[in-house]
Structure 1
Amino acid sequence: MRHGGGGLRERKKLQTREALADAALRLALEKGPDHVTVEEIAEAADVSVRTFFNYFPHKEHAILGRNPEQLERALERMRTASPDESPLTTMWHVVHDVLEELGSDGELSRRGELIMSSPTLLYQLMLSSIDDERQLTAALTERMGEPAGSLRPALIVSTAGAACRVVMELHKTAPGRPIPELLDEAFQLLAQGIDTSFGPNNQKGHP
């Protein structure tokens, strides 16, 4: 995981959050997510249980590596993006920033496999992803100058999220290809149009 700039206090907070997330992931892989306790995670990270709850509301968010600051940085990235930067390009930057902070391909793969094997983790990821996408869509809609409820910004955000999920799944069957490389290919396909021949009303035999 990367350690960004900022003052000593901010760096120590980041290190503590990363230590808790690393401990949570390691223990969940060893024992199974349902058999890990907050007390064990805090002890492994050498902090108090009270400190744990300063960073995560529950153990599932620690195992997922959830960091609310990631969303804040993503929203700021949208607000400060160059007017010449396309909305999909902005989402590409946002996704790559999150992946870089979450760790190496190996760590991402281990966490991804663990999530897919745990209904509880999958449910928590779904809940947090829905909320993230809602806020990102609102920010992108405003940046694009479109009215609330517009389809295009919502599709850009949601398809970017879908691309990440597909890439993580495919990486298990093609581990030789780095996740960022697969992600770049996925975004290129989105940019080009997945099926430019789409036209159900033009098919022969259509009533």
Structure 2
Amino acid sequence: MSTGLGLRERKKSATRQAIHQAALRLALAVGPDQVTVEAIADAAAVSRRTFSNYFASKEEALLYGDHLRIQRFLSLVQDRPQSETPWTALTEAAQQLYRQINEHDPQWIRQHQLIRQQPALLAQQITTYAAFEQDLAAEITTRLATTGNPLYPRIVAASFLAALRVAVRSWIDQPAGRTLTEVIQQVLVTAAGQFD
């Protein structure tokens, strides 16, 4: 993640990650409603001001892992061959990303469950994913030989993210028997007929 960054940027990245991890540990231990910015700052061994330099709220700190995954996913999509259709490029990038995630990590599963139960976290996640949807639509636009319908990239981006949410939530609700990547593959193949 920090490859190619200078020392100052690596330190900033490490501080941001430490704050995120502290927020997540506290939220999983006592529930996000009981966690304060001050408690997160103390657990991360930073000042309240330092916390504010990195995150606007505790919800943003808690969901920083989503932000990192989004950036990684977008990078994987951009690295896919331009000859691939948008849906294929998105599918292959998603498979690669989720193979890198430890789906057996109970903390990752609990984080997803936590978000679904907390309106403030869910609202923050929706805001994050709405911005990501726009970035994804812009990347899809660059892959199209002709502009065609200007709404098409937005429809593909929104549909793809909705399919991913269905796959992840289905797997978290019933993880036994199949891997997360298998569930994602099944859902994306089912939806692919509309876009490939």
TM-score (norm 2): 0.79
Evaluate the alpha carbon distance shift between residue 8 and residue 98 of structure 1 in structure 2; reply closer, same or farther with a 3 A threshold.
farther
CA shift, 1:5, in A, is 2.5
CA shift, 1:52, in A, is 2.0
The whole-number CA distance in structure 1 between the counterparts of 2:144 and 2:27 is 41
Q: Deviations over 1:4-63 (max 9, x none)?
A: 523463444333322222211121122221221111112112222232233322110111
Evaluate the alpha carbon distance shift between residue 148 and residue 15 of structure 1 in structure 2; reply closer, same or farther with a 3 A threshold.
farther
The aligned counterpart of 1:13 is 12
User: Within 5 Å, which residues of 2 pair with 1:1-207?
Assistant: 3=1, 5-7=3-5, 9=7, 10-66=9-65, 71=70, 74-79=73-78, 81-96=80-95, 99=98, 104-105=103-104, 106-147=106-147, 150-176=150-176, 177-192=178-193
**Does the residue aligned with 1:6 lie in a helix, a strand or coil?**
coil
1:25 corresponds to which letter in structure 2?
L
Name the stretch that deviates more: 4-13 or 15-24: 4-13
Evaluate the alpha carbon distance shift between residue 151 and residue 7 of structure 1 in structure 2; reply closer, same or farther with a 3 A threshold.
closer
What runs of 5+ residues in structure 1 fail to find an aligned partner?
A: 195-207
The list of structure 1 runs, each at least 4 consecutive aligned residues, that deviate by more than 4 angstroms after superposition, is: 66-80, 96-105
The whole-number CA distance in structure 1 between the counterparts of 2:168 and 2:185 is 13
CA shift, 1:86, in A, is 2.2
Q: Deviations over 1:136-168 (max 9, x none)?
A: 212312331443863432222112211221122
2:117 corresponds to which letter in structure 1?
S
Identity of aligned residues (%): 34
What runs of 5+ residues in structure 2 fail to find an aligned partner?
A: none
Evaluate the alpha carbon distance shift between residue 119 and residue 82 of structure 1 in structure 2; reply closer, same or farther with a 3 A threshold.
same
Evaluate the alpha carbon distance shift between residue 192 and residue 114 of structure 1 in structure 2; reply closer, same or farther with a 3 A threshold.
same
TM-score (norm 1): 0.75
Evaluate the alpha carbon distance shift between residue 115 and residue 144 of structure 1 in structure 2; reply closer, same or farther with a 3 A threshold.
same
1:121 corresponds to which letter in structure 2?
L
CA shift, 1:132, in A, is 1.4
1:154 corresponds to which letter in structure 2?
R
The whole-number CA distance in structure 1 between the counterparts of 2:11 and 2:91 is 28
The whole-number CA distance in structure 1 between the counterparts of 2:39 and 2:101 is 21
The whole-number CA distance in structure 1 between the counterparts of 2:87 and 2:160 is 8
Name the stretch that deviates more: 62-71 or 131-140: 62-71
